[in-house]
Copies of this chain bind each other. A is one copy, B any other.
Amino acid sequence: MGTIERLLLTVVLAAGLASGPAAAAESTPPLPSWNDTQARQRILEFVEAVTKPGSDDFVPPEERIAVFDNDGTLWSEKPLYFQLLYAIDYVKTNVGKHPEWRDRQPFQAVLENDQKALAASGEKGIVELVMASHAGMTTSEFDASVREWLKTAKHPEKKRLYPELVFQPMLELLAYLRDNDFSTWIVSGGGVDFVRTFSEDVYGIPPQQVVGSGIEMAFEMRGDGPVIVRQPKVAFIDDKAGKPVGIQRHIGRRPIAAFGNSDGDLQMLQWTAAGEGKRLMLLVHHTDAEREWAYDRESLVGKLDAALQQAKADGWVVVDMKGDWKVVYPFEGGAE
């Protein structure tokens, strides 16, 4: 290599021209924690098709919207949605300030670990728990409360911090899509401000790219300045038929790729599938009782039935967690 070439190369490298997805792909193949089965192949084929300039399937970067369910798709959701476990821990931690909870359901059931009484309180009981732990605070107070919990609370069975229970193969998928100029979005049945407390650190998804359920909020001018106070009233449920509506409200553009794991994601996948051009619809099927959990049609949390039928009928990708993933959680050690 002559002097000029060497100099040019230095400039090119300094300018970052030799980095980026293409060059990176040559050194490390994408999705290293995925076995090289059909699921991985179909993801790679889709991304190559929509990003290749001149291809019939080419989609410009601003339209490369990929939406991800959170519970059961990006992290685990057993034995209960983690947000509900936060609500339960909140009640246990804050009963000192609320002595009335000791003999009022569903709080008493939570404090006495009475699963039966908790189940008996039904959906109404769950809403009461969530409201007690999610409303009344300002947005800053709620944010601080959840962040503290995420730093300290341990999962009852896995004995791990909750942010450790994310799926390594999905983290790689998020990064791979972003390397290919997709914008990655969470569209969760969970509370939008709950998910935002960890989405940026854990998934690389900034708060403005999180769509979720929400409670009413009120702006208030207080002595030391304005605050936004969370109200004990549900404003929007971003689940099932609410997911395409949440997407329209927040994004205003139809996704070209959608990732879910339960019947709560069916309408989001249908809405994505119905757009023009090449699309990718994918379901994570929880088949690994050893490393994670195995469940589908009969599960109360994360029930997967109608969506699995439509996936089979319409040829959507179904990930077999046991067979398709080399590792489930990051702490199992990275892929080879």
Residues of chain A whose beta carbon lies under 8 Å from any beta carbon of chain B = 3-4, 7-8, 11-12, 15, 17, 62, 139, 183, 192-193, 196, 206-210, 214, 217-219, 221, 225-226, 228, 235-236, 241-242, 244-245, 248-253, 267, 270-271, 274
Contacts and interface: CB of A to CB of B under 8 A. Distances in A.
A241 B226 CA distance: 10
A245 B271 contact: no
Given A245-B217, A245-B218, A207 B11 contact: no
Contacts of A228: 244-245, 248, 271
Nearest to A140: B254
Nearest to A271: B226
A17 B16 CA distance: 10
Contacts of A192: 249, 252
B11 A248 contact: no
Contacts of A208: 183, 208-209, 250-253
A244 B229 CA distance: 11
B3 A252 contact: no
A99 B213 CA distance: 41
A214 B249 contact: yes
A158 to B, nearest CB: 28
B226 A244 contact: yes
4 interchain residue pairs of minimum CB distance = A207-B252, A219-B241, A15-B15, A225-B274
Nearest to A270: B226
Nearest to A267: B219
Contact of A244 (B210, B219, B248, B249): B219
Contacts of A249: 192, 214, 217
A236 B245 CA distance: 14
A235 B267 CA distance: 21
Contacts of A251: 207-208
Contacts of A242: 219
Nearest to A227: B274
A224 B139 CA distance: 42
Contacts of A206: 62, 253
A218 B241 contact: yes
Contacts of A253: 206-208
Contact of A248 (B3, B17, B139, B245): B139
A85 to B, nearest CB: 22
A144 B6 CA distance: 55
Contacts of A4: 3-4, 7
